[in-house]
Amino acid sequence: MSVLVLIIGLVLLGIISSDVLVTTLTLRGGGFLTNRLSSWMWHGATKWHRYNTNHRLLTTIGLFIVLGMAFLWYLMTWVAWSLIFNSFSEAIVNASDKTPASIWGRIYFTAYTITTLGRGDYLPQTTFWHLLTGLAAANGFFLVTLSIAYLFPVISAVIQKRSLATYISTLGGTGDEILTNAWNGKNFGNLDQHLINLAPLIVGLSEQHLAYPVLHYFHTRERSRCLPLSLAALDEALTLLQYAVPIEHRPDHASLIPVRRACSAFLKTLKSDYIEPENYEPNLIPLQLLRTKAIPTVSDHDFKQGTKHINKRRKLLLALVRNDGWSWDAVGSSLTTNRATSLDDETMIDSVILH
């Protein structure tokens, strides 16, 4: 029982309070402890996934991370206040006989104080400890409030994330399929209108990833609703439009560039905290897939030369896909996947394609 214990408790309380406030009330992403816990749980799940491919684990890990965050906040707060109330023997006494409470009695007192239950088995002594008890109760109240205020928008953001992924999948499951679906024999029809619609949705989701970093760890095993795959497919389609299709056949520049930059902003957001570029670049989509649909293209050589400067961008796309538990084949081209066919009329409504 000493001033040192009190100081340790106060420091620990400051650390966890800072983590909660940064995570819930700022746009800087999660606090240090929250980010470390989330990253540790996610990387552990993805490592297990690589040895035993089963998307069920990744599908549930987002929920476990959210619960783990709340558990960490409450546990650390409980430990911090327990140290504070255990620092001096006269701090807490039994309500019945006024004898000093035991260590476990103080831990119990701390638990019902920060949960605002107010059992009354133990009482604080002196004005100083009464004030600290009031602060502990207020701390617990705000912890509950901030947790709830943080978690509900996360659920809404997850819904928006999957909605955006499905929207992109309706255009096509891969980069070449997005273009071949839009091609009408002369141009890409109303694809430019879809690109205009997608730009603000992607920018909005990028900001949500900053505000709610746990959003990155919500996974779906349905490929048509998987945002990393949909975003990779869209970005590959934009690469084809910008470097493989002759300029006279491209959609309007004012629709193509904003969505391209929106994708860049999203990738930069994730790169700052979650992913690093892979060591190699995924294969480019074969232009023959476009030519078979009579879509005009540049030569293979010109396409390869024109995309040399975006190799880091495509390495980031590969990292985004792999970090979500998928291989590049799940989105590479229509030669390697039929990712969006589960949305077609010919597919049974209760059929879910996972591979």
How far apart CA 111 and CA 107 sit, in angstroms, is 6
Q: Where in the chain is the domain with CATH 1.10.287.70?
A: 3-148
The confidence score (pLDDT) of residue 354 equals: 39
If you average pLDDT over residues 246-258, what whole number do you get? 92
* Dihedral angle of Cα 191, 305, 276, 43, to the nearest 10 degrees: 70
The confidence score (pLDDT) of residue 10 equals: 92
Query: Which strand (E) or helix (H) includes residue 255?
Result: helix 253-273
Which residue, among 159, 319, 322, 168, has the nearest Cα to 231 in the 3D structure? 168
pLDDT tier at 46, thresholds 50, 70, 90 = confident
One-letter amino acid of 340: A
Counting residues of the chain whose pLDDT is more than 70, the rounded percentage is 94
Residue 95, pLDDT > 60, answer yes
Cβ neighbourhood burial of 353 (10 Å; 0-12, 13-18, 19+): middle
CATH topology of domain 3-148: Helix Hairpins (1.10.287)
Residues 145-169: tens digit of each pLDDT = 888 888 888 888 999 999 999 999 9
Q: What does pLDDT average to over the chain?
A: 88
The confidence score (pLDDT) of residue 353 equals: 43
pLDDT tier at 275, thresholds 50, 70, 90 = confident
> Taking a C-beta distance cutoff of 8 angstroms, is the pair 324, 228 a contact?
yes
* CA distance readout (Å), 275 to 50, 104, 226: 17, 44, 17
pLDDT tier at 348, thresholds 50, 70, 90 = very low
pTM attached to this predicted model: 0.85
Structure tokens at 129: 């400890």
Residue 57, pLDDT > 70, answer yes
> Taking a C-beta distance cutoff of 8 angstroms, is the pair 307, 284 a contact?
yes
How far apart CA 299 and CA 47 sit, in angstroms, is 40
Which residue, among 1, 86, 41, 14, has the nearest Cα to 214 in the 3D structure? 41
Rounded (5°) CA angle 263-355-65: 60
If you average pLDDT over residues 247-273, what whole number do you get? 89
Residues 293-345: tens digit of each pLDDT = 999 999 999 999 999 999 999 999 999 999 999 999 999 999 998 887 777 66
Structure tokens at 137: 């109760």
Q: What is the DSSP letter of 123?
A: E
Coil/strand/helix, residue 100: strand
The confidence score (pLDDT) of residue 272 equals: 64
> Taking a C-beta distance cutoff of 8 angstroms, is the pair 64, 219 a contact?
no
Which residue, among 268, 266, 213, 270, has the nearest Cα to 24 in the 3D structure? 213
Residues 103-142: tens digit of each pLDDT = 888 899 899 889 877 667 888 888 888 899 899 999 999 9
